[in-house]
């Protein structure tokens, strides 16, 4: 059995609607504010679907790629940064799920 579909490393990615990537949920919350109604993108990706370095005057700026190879993204969902009505579907919960999914894919690849 070929395991090419499992190879990674897979990463969970949290980005705003414009594709700018945050290193973690706490940073996104700090920068966007706890009252933010920002819609976030949450992905599990590898290879060509990983964020690109769009370096600028202030340093490294990561942004989601405009296109990627089929198979390099396993999961994508949009969620509000803060969902006061149902936190279980907000960005924090969805990002935690994506982190677990990436860990699982990486573990499966290591076992094969």
> Average of pLDDT values for 53-67?
73
Q: What is the pLDDT of residues 8-56, one digit of tens each?
A: 899 999 999 999 999 999 999 999 998 888 999 999 999 999 998 865 5
Joined tokens for residue 10:
């897979």
Q: What is the pLDDT of residues 70-110, one digit of tens each?
A: 899 999 999 999 988 999 999 999 999 999 999 999 998 88
pTM of the model: 0.87
Q: What is the pLDDT of residue 111?
A: 81
Helix (H) or strand (E) run with residue 1 in it? none
Q: What is the mean pLDDT of the chain?
A: 88
* Contacting residues for 43 by C-beta, under 8 A, at least 6 apart: 12, 13, 15, 49, 64, 73, 75, 76, 98
Q: How many CA atoms lie within 13 A of 30 on its CB side?
A: 6
């Amino acid at each position: 059995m070929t395991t090419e579909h499992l190879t990674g490393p897979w990463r969970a990615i949290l980005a705003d609607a414009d594709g700018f990537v945050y290193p973690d949920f706490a940073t996104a919350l700090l920068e966007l504010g706890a009252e933010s109604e920002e819609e976030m993108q949450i992905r599990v990706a590898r290879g060509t679907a990983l964020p690109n370095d769009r370096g600028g005057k202030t340093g490294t700026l990561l942004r989601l790629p405009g296109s990627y190879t089929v198979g390099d993204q396993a999961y994508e969902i949009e969620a509000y940064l803060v969902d006061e009505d149902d936190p279980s579907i907000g960005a924090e919960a969805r990002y935690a799920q994506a982190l677990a999914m990436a860990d699982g894919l990486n573990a499966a690849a290591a076992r094969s």
